Amino acid sequence: SNHKPVVVVTRKLPEPVETRMRELFEVRLNPDDHPFDRAELIAAVRDAEVLVPTVTDRIDAGVLSQSGPGLRLIANFGAGVDHIDLASARTRGITVTNTPDALTEDTADIAMALILAVPRRMQAGAKLLRTGAWGGWSPTGMLGHRISGKRLGVIGLGRIGQAVARRARAFGMAIHYHNRRRVAPEIEAELGATYWESLDQMLARMDVVTLHCPHTPATFHLLSARRLALLPRHAYLVNCARGEIVDEAALARMLARGELAGAGLDVFEHEPSVNPALLGLDNVVLLPHLASATHEGRIDMGEAVLVNIKTFTTGHPPPDRVVAAQL
Ligand code: 8YV
């Protein structure tokens, strides 16, 4: 048929992605890239047959309750879908897809960069230099900690977790992991990875811990104050997943008191605000949710969204289904 599905895109996407979308669909874009407020989101779910949201759109049950009968697909631009009420989408027969493969390597690169930057004190060193306080090289100046030979605990050994583990192994780290389920023996063998069924027991033995699980009701504050306290004082924490997985206030308190050695954070519990107690610390590297932010990655993400929409709207199951509703 000639019917072009009405696709509402909540944020400005890279030019080539928008051009391709315009060719294929009846598309409503957001040219000035302002984040939609609740009223705009409700208008979007009322009008759209396909909604393309991002992490900044809270598609909760209340918003979905206003959706029109035409809304059949939410094709998320991004991997994490914690901003979408999946149960409510399922109940309403709305399929949800994401873009899991497009950002794996870029996100793993930033996690690895933080695993290097924090123990090697790059933030403190850069500050020393830029404030004119650097007095020159000294045998005891700017000492950090070696990462090779140390233990990395990966929480969530999925696509991104495995890509980080592969990198860390190349840097000489020993890979440990906690996951809902043990991964395939070939993957454990390739990574030389040790499985810990007990997260608590793993935490107590790690030098660096990196988070790569999704944010779900089961992982909210997975690293609670109690669990953070299980980490050795010399341990570092890296989070490129979701801020909500860590009790950010407890983490900030512990870092300030020297109860943890440092942290590298690309995500925060209440983005875009960041716990003020973190801002003054030299033992943390704070990044503005940029782990997937490459020109190439955004094109790949757009491509994945297009494939999911095209497949779905031509009557086939899309490749990246998170919620598979009846077609
Ligand atoms: C994405 C992210 O760019 O994919 C994710 O889960 O957190 C980001 O890096 C964002 O989701 C876009 O919606």
**For the chain (length 327 residues), average pLDDT per consecutive 10?**
90 96 96 94 97 98 97 98 97 97 98 98 98 98 98 98 98 98 98 98 99 98 98 99 98 98 98 97 98 98 98 97 81
Structure tokens belonging to residue 106? 């870029």
Cα(69)–Cα(83) distance, rounded to whole angstroms? 21
Q: Can 271 be counted among the known catalytic residues? A: yes
Same domain, 305 and 282: no
Statement to judge: residues 171 and 255 lie in one domain: yes
Residue 1 lies inside a defined structural domain of this protein? no
Can you tell me the ipTM of this complex?
Answer: 0.95
C-alpha dist (Å) from residue 291 to 145, 194, 240, 298, 308? 24, 26, 7, 11, 23
Q: Which of 319, 298, 289 is nearest to 102 (CA)?
A: 298
Catalytic, out of 242, 248, 269, 298:
242
CA 129 remoteness from chain centre: 31
Do 307 and 209 have their domain in common?
Answer: no
- Residues 131, 155, single domain; the answer is yes
Clarify whether residues 35 and 168 are in a common domain.
Answer: no
* Ligand 1 atom at minimal distance to the Cα of residue 267: 7
Regarding whether 156 and 76 lie in a shared domain, the answer is no
Whether 278 is in a domain gets the answer: yes
The verdict on 57 and 192 lying in the same domain is: no
CA 117 – CA 299 distance, rounded (Å): 28
CATH code for position 90: 3.40.50.720
Catalytic residue among 26, 190, 271, 303: 271
Spatial neighbors of 231 by CB under 8 A, at least 6 apart, are: 203, 204, 206, 209, 237, 260
CB 126 within 8 A of CB 176: no
For residue 191, tell me if it sits in a domain. Answer: yes
Say if residue 309 is in the same domain as residue 199: no
The per-residue pLDDT for 325 is 81
Stated pTM of the model: 0.97
pLDDT score, position 1 = 58
Q: Is 77 in the pocket of ligand 1 (CB under 6 A)?
A: yes
Q: Which amino acid residue places its CA nearest to atom 11 of ligand 1?
A: 78
Whether residue 224 is contained in a domain is answered as: yes
Q: Which atom of ligand 1 is nearest to the CA of 80?
A: 6
- Asked if residues 145 and 234 have their Cβ atoms less than 8 Å apart, the reply is yes
**Residue range of the domain that includes 317:** 6-102+294-323
Binding site membership of 100 for ligand 1 (Cβ less than 6 Å): no
Q: How many domains does the chain have?
A: 2
315 and 278 within one domain: no
> For residue 147, is it within any domain?
yes
Q: How far apart are CA 161 and CA 188, in angstroms?
A: 12
What's the gap in Å between 187 CA and the centre of ligand 1?
A: 25
Residues 248 and 173 in one domain: yes
